[in-house]
Amino acid sequence: MKVASIFVLILIGFASARAGLTPRESSKYLSNVVVYISAPCAIIHSMSEQELDPASAASLGIVCALFVALTAFSWLIAFIHSKLFKVEFADKGIYQNIIIFPNNGFMGMPISMAIYGSQGFFLMVAANILAPPVMYTFGIWNMLRHKGVGAKFSVKQFINVPVIASFVGLAIFFLRIPLPEVLGSAIKITGDMMTPLCMMVIGIQLTQSSVGSIIKNYRLVTASFVKIILLPALVFAILFPFGLITVAGKPLLDPLIIAIITLNAMMPTAALTVALSEMYGCNVKLASEGTFLTTLFSIVTIPLTAALINHLLGI
């Protein structure tokens, strides 16, 4: 149901654009609201809600390390894909970001709670701690370096509102700084706007596309296949043996951690890639189509793949 609700939000954005309520240029302003206001609030709220105790510290560290490794591995796979399918230079960053960045905030967290309970949810949040600073630094850099010959990137672009919010959230998380109830509630409400606004931006952008043209774009279809099926399959194949090796009667890598990292890898493309593409003048139409297509595929792949993983891990 969570995946299906995303499509309802996209359809709302699409219908509002067709009706003239949200013209094409409005996506730029909605993207600004997402990146500068809603996303930072979502980051701070997510981190302020989590508890850190000695028992969970080790698992948190392992998951964070694996998330970094997953991002690097995803970039390698994305790089190979762009080479094999001769992706146009200006769009390489978009295609690569479609494969690299998962929607582990809006979709990953609730799905992990539904499948693996509170412990699985905590581990997914742990993976999500590093997602914002990685997306708002490496993700932006990866788009801009392919924007065109001579495109320049300044270190100042690393210093933006979401990155600052990530560090504020980390300080709140590790120092256990309590937020006043009124402030915490306002931050939560504002952060909750992020996903609906991102989906509306996608819907607005899709008025410039057709399903037929999306499906005919074999580079986009193959990138979606890599993101949704090939990448999680490779990640699981690499991590699974570590769950079989035991040390002092315990698996070297907790099966639940293997499941969460694989679940992270199988999530569709993060909706924020669309907002960032809009902000930095990249191919936002392509980013919207990639997010739409990977989300469409995930309706089928997530339930089936999660069930197979749980069976193999004995969870």
Task: Give all domains of the chain, ordered by start, each with its CATH number.
Answer: 2-313 (1.20.1530.20)
Q: How many CB atoms lie within 10 A of CB 123?
A: 26
Mean pLDDT of 160-173: 80
Q: Is the pLDDT of residue 73 over 90?
A: yes
Give residue for tokens 């609906």. Answer: 196
Helices and strands counted in the chain (H then E): 17, 2
What integer best gives the mean pLDDT of the chain?
Answer: 84
Q: How far is CA 77 from CA 18, 155, 225, 227, 313, in A?
A: 37, 26, 12, 9, 25
- Give Cα separations from 17 to 31, 176, 204, 268, 273 (angstroms): 15, 43, 5, 24, 20
Contact 255, 261 (CB under 8 A): no
**pLDDT for 85:** 93
Those residues whose C-beta lies under 8 Å from the C-beta of residue 30, and which sit 6 or more positions away, are 22, 197, 200, 201, 204, 275
Q: Specify the pLDDT at position 106.
A: 63
Q: What pTM did the predictor assign?
A: 0.77
Q: How many other β-carbons are positioned within 10 Å of the β-carbon of residue 303?
A: 13
pLDDT tens readout for residues 99-113? 999 987 667 777 787
Q: Is the pLDDT of residue 255 over 90?
A: yes
Instruction: Say how many C-beta atoms besides its own lie within 10 A of residue 157's C-beta.
Output: 15
How far is residue 205's CA from residue 226's CA, in Å, rounded to a whole number?
Answer: 23
Strands (DSSP E) found in 149-239: none
What are the DSSP E strand ranges found in the chain?
A: 246-247, 250-251
Q: CB burial class (10 A; 0-12, 13-18, 19+) of residue 86?
A: exposed
Residue 150: pLDDT band (50, 70, 90) is: very low
DSSP string computed for 219-269: HHHHHHHIIIIIHHHHHHHHHHHHHH-EETTEESS-HHHHHHHHHHHHS-B
Residue 16 CA to its chain's centroid (Å): 25
